[in-house]
Amino acid sequence: MTFGQQPRNGSGFNQQPQSPYQYDQQAPQYQYGGQQYAYAPNGGAAIDAQAAYSYEEAQRVSVTRAYGEMTIGLVITAVVAVLAQMSGAYVAFVQSTGLVGFILFAIVQVGLAVYLGARIMKIKAGTARVMFYVYAALMGFTLSSIFMVYDLGSIAVALGLCAVFFLALTMFGMTTKINMLKAGPILLIGLVVLIVAELVLMLLFPGDTTLMIVSAIGLVLFAAMTVHDAQQTRAIFAQYQSQGPEMVKKVSVVCALNLYLDFVNIFLYILELLGNRD
């Protein structure tokens, strides 16, 4: 089951281009070396190089901030999941509210993610960060249910494989010359089709074989999304870097949310494929 989806490329930026690949085209252009450097082209070139290095360093720090926020969110999720399992809070919640409570809880999660993306330009960076952490805690509460289905060894193995796989995909996305931003609309359509197909297949053809097929397709899809979101994170920061620290902090939260969802879904699909059920 895929948890906590939010519309991709729908983070609510008023100035966001209509298609993801336009980020590179609209990235802020910085020009250095005006007329005062005309008499010393070599010195002007040195200053240009220094300015370019400073800009690249600032962008690297911004991207690191997004991955740092994602990591904090994952830690919150893990801690809440363990505590909910140890206390039996999730089981008590489901038993007391039934299916209605489960559905309402899922709606709250999705609504929070959508609201965060849509209102990011109108709220403070600190508020956006708190909302992201609350979302991560709610996700942890939901994911505590995996302890009732899988043994601890399977969960640990799936988490380790997910971390390695996610890191490899991120490095590939940051270094490859393949422009995955152009694949954004295709990946969005694939995500919608996957969710609908997962629900239909589970209702009409329930069973381990169906689960394995859906999980394999989902794993491939979110692997591609991870590469896309790694490149999109860098592209978004390139676009909004010139709008000040507050904007960078806001952007980092939205990018962290996208990366967080990629990680969680990859983990769940790996667990479904390789996990031993209790």
pLDDT given for residue 56 in this prediction: 62
Q: How far apart are CA 223 and CA 230, in angstroms?
A: 11
Enclosing domain of residue 219: 31-274
Number of domains in the chain: 1
Q: What is the mean pLDDT of the chain?
A: 79
The verdict on residue 26 lying in a domain is no
The verdict on residue 133 lying in a domain is yes
User: How would residue 223 be classed by pLDDT, with cut points 50, 70 and 90?
Assistant: very high
Backbone angles phi, psi at 5, to 5 degrees: -75, 150
User: How would residue 25 be classed by pLDDT, with cut points 50, 70 and 90?
Assistant: very low
pLDDT digits 0-9 by tens, 169-213: 999 998 888 888 888 889 999 989 988 888 887 787 777 778 888
The verdict on residue 44 lying in a domain is yes
Nearest to 7 by CA among 213, 263, 195: 195
CA 110 to chain centre: 14
pLDDT surpasses 80 at 215: yes
pLDDT given for residue 5 in this prediction: 46
pLDDT given for residue 44 in this prediction: 53
pLDDT digits 0-9 by tens, 148-173: 889 899 999 999 999 999 999 999 99
Which range, of 20-29, 43-52, 205-214, 216-225, averages the lowest pLDDT?
20-29
Helix intervals (H) in the chain: 22-26, 41-87, 89-118, 125-143, 152-175, 184-204, 208-240, 245-274
The verdict on residue 190 lying in a domain is yes
**The three-state (H, E, C) secondary structure of 181-227, written as one string:** HHHHHHHHHHHHHHHHHHHHHHHHCCCHHHHHHHHHHHHHHHHHHHH
Packed helices 184-204 and 208-240: angle between N→C axes, nearest 10 degrees: 160
Is pTM, for the whole model, over 0.85? no
The verdict on residue 46 lying in a domain is yes
pLDDT given for residue 38 in this prediction: 39
The verdict on residue 7 lying in a domain is no
Paired tokens of 240 = 């909004």
The verdict on residue 14 lying in a domain is no
Nearest to 163 by CA among 266, 60, 274, 276: 266
The verdict on residue 84 lying in a domain is yes
Residues whose CB is less than 8 angstroms from the CB of residue 154 and which lie 6 or more positions away in sequence, other chains included: 271, 274, 275, 276
pLDDT digits 0-9 by tens, 60-112: 777 888 999 999 999 999 999 999 999 988 888 888 888 887 888 888 888 88
Q: How far apart are CA 231 and CA 21, in angstroms?
A: 10
pLDDT surpasses 80 at 39: no
pLDDT given for residue 226 in this prediction: 95
pLDDT surpasses 80 at 30: no
Share of the chain above pLDDT 70, in %: 78
Q: Which carries the bigger pLDDT value, residue 145 or residue 46?
A: 145
User: How would residue 278 be classed by pLDDT, with cut points 50, 70 and 90?
Assistant: low
